Amino acid sequence: MPYVPHTDDDVRRALAAIGVDDVDDLFADVPAEILDPPLDLPEPMDEVALLAHLDALAALDQQAVPTFLGGGVRRHFIPAVTPRLAMQGEFVTAYTPYQAEVAQGVLQSTFEFQTMMSELTGLPIANASMYDGASAVAEAALLAVRQTHRETVMVSRAVHPETREVLQTYLWPLDIDIEVVDLEPSLTTPVPAVGDHVAALIVQDPNHLGYLEDMPAMAAAAHAAGALLIAVVDPLALAVLREPGSYGADVAVGDGQVLGVPMQFGGPAFGFMVVTDGLLRQLPGRLVGQTSDVDGRRAFVLTLQAREQHIRRSKAKSNICSNHQLAALLATVNMAALGPTGLREMAEGTVRRAHQLAAALRAAGADVAANERFFAEFVLRTRAEGATVRRRLAKRGVRAGVPVPAEYGIGNGVTLAATELTTDADVEALLAALHDVGELGVVGTEVVA
């Protein structure tokens, strides 16, 4: 079923109109030696067989069990109304809104998205979304290089390791240097000495291990050297935490998965970038602006496209073309559904559940890191390697434990995350599983893999 409507009669009628005898005549420009190679693909399946096949695959994957995984993606409350509204066919099967007269649905909802991201971050100008948080950080670093004409960026080691790897990939061909700031024993970033060769200081708050950073001091250190502060933020946390605009960040970037996008094994969610007025002309990606139509009605349109690849080609600010519109729409509808109160309750529930979890673990004899200033996740030192702990817990029906990489110098450990969805029963399941695998400080317990 290739979703092709043509009957044999249709094909004959079309060929006659075109004036050729056979469909293959339309492929005459393709060199004969490369036309129609044998393709070793699986036999086609009908709808019932396909879904049965996918069900069999999905059954091999742990889903819908107590979950304490973070590291950039978390399971949060998504009300039923959010996907029902955002995943309407008109939004799902629309193209980029180049014909504004018939694309007000996408354009206006994007304008609403830009407004909400501006409100959350306290900075005035949000673009229409990026691929993900990691590539948004890389694009923000390039923005800072363009703005300052400096060729070094400084990044905290507590910025997500994958984000720093993406940064490295993007900056390498342009010969831009990266200086890494090492952490203090509190697992937070010391205020670094920023040189006047630095385009931007990049700090994540809460950081990759979950802890809050001293962002006002970071802003002061960056600005004293004429560098930008790029704040990598968790947008849900901003329902309670101080917003980047309040402490002088020049750019706020991050990943929007926590705002209403299913985890989906890590994608697609969306990245966002919000900047000060002075950085507007350097901003990559699509922007929606308000204007009016010939009858004077308010309307929305893609604007300032002279920054973009389809106009500027090799002189564009970025090659970015697609955004992650549909995921951003999920977040827009979700924030509108929850409102300021609901979003705050989710953030507060996350903080309370995470702190309750840490307290319960300590009470059970687990080695929880000492720093108390964390949002959704924190570090648990473990006896076994982090990945081993995670696998042993998974065998006991609990998804928990993002391994802490060796670069943090704490030995074996994992981060554990809670959210407003975490229940007392989930916590009991985690404690029982940790006890089972010998990570709760019971002396002499032998671990069974």
Partner 1 sequence: MSDFPLVFERGAAGRRAARPPVTDGASMAELLGEEALRADPPRLPEVSELDLVRHYTQLAHRQFSIDGNFYPLGSCTMKYNPKLHEDAAERFLDLHPYQDPDHAQGILALLHDLQRDLATITGMDAISLQPAAGAHGELTGILMIRAYHEANGEGEQRRVVICPDGAHGTNPATASMAGYDVVEVPTGPDGEVDIEAFEAALGPDTAAVMLTNPNTLGIFERRILRMSEAAHAVGAQLYYDGANLNAVVGRARPGDMGFDVVHLNLHKTFTTPHGGGGPGTGPVGVKAHLAPYLPVPLVAREGDRYVLDAERPRSIGRMRSFYGNVGNLVRAYAYIRTLGAEGLRRVSSMAVLNANYLRVKMKEAGFTIAFDRVNMHEFVAQPPAGMRTLDIAKALLDHGVHPMTVYFPLIVKEAMMVEPTETESLETLDAYAATLAEVLRRAEADPAYLAEAPRHTPVRRLDETTAARKPVLRHGFGDL
Choosing from 45, 180, 224, 447, the residue that interacts with partner 1 (CB under 8 A) is 45
Residue placing its CB nearer to partner 1 in the complex, 172 or 442: 172
d(CA 288, CA 81): 25
Where does this chain touch partner 1 (CB under 8 A) — which range of 150-158, 186-194, 303-311, 432-440?
A: 303-311
Residue placing its CB nearer to partner 1 in the complex, 107 or 183: 107
Where does this chain touch partner 1 (CB under 8 A) — which range of 221-229, 344-352, 376-384, 432-440?
A: 344-352
Per the CB < 8 A criterion, the answer to whether 389 and 439 are in contact is yes
Per the CB < 8 A criterion, the answer to whether 157 and 204 are in contact is no
Under rule CB under 8 A, residue 19 binds partner 1: yes
Binding to partner 1, residues 23-42 (CB under 8 A): 23, 25-31, 33-42
Number of residues that bind partner 1 (CB under 8 A): 205
Under rule CB under 8 A, residue 444 binds partner 1: no
Cβ 443 to partner 1 shortest distance, Å: 27
Binding to partner 1, residues 69-128 (CB under 8 A): 69, 71-73, 75, 77, 79, 81-82, 85-97, 99-106, 108-109, 111-112, 114-116, 118-120, 122, 124-126, 128
Contact track, partner 1, 397-416, x by CB under 8 A: --x--x--------------
Per the CB < 8 A criterion, the answer to whether 284 and 306 are in contact is no
Examine residue 173 and say whether the peptide bond preceding it is cis (omega within 30 degrees of 0).
no
Residue 42 is classified by DSSP as: P
Q: CB count, 10 Å around CB of 407?
A: 12
Residue placing its CB nearer to partner 1 in the complex, 174 or 442: 174
Residues comprising the chain, all counted: 449
Radius of gyration of the chain measured on its C-alpha atoms: 25
Under rule CB under 8 A, residue 180 binds partner 1: no
Where does this chain touch partner 1 (CB under 8 A) — which range of 181-189, 219-227, 311-319, 376-384?
A: 311-319
Where does this chain touch partner 1 (CB under 8 A) — which range of 192-200, 288-296, 429-437, 439-447?
A: 288-296
d(CA 395, CA 294): 64
Among 131, 142, 134, 136, CA closest to 174: 142
Two tokens at 233? 């933020």
Among 192, 223, 186, CA closest to 207: 186
d(CA 141, CA 418): 31
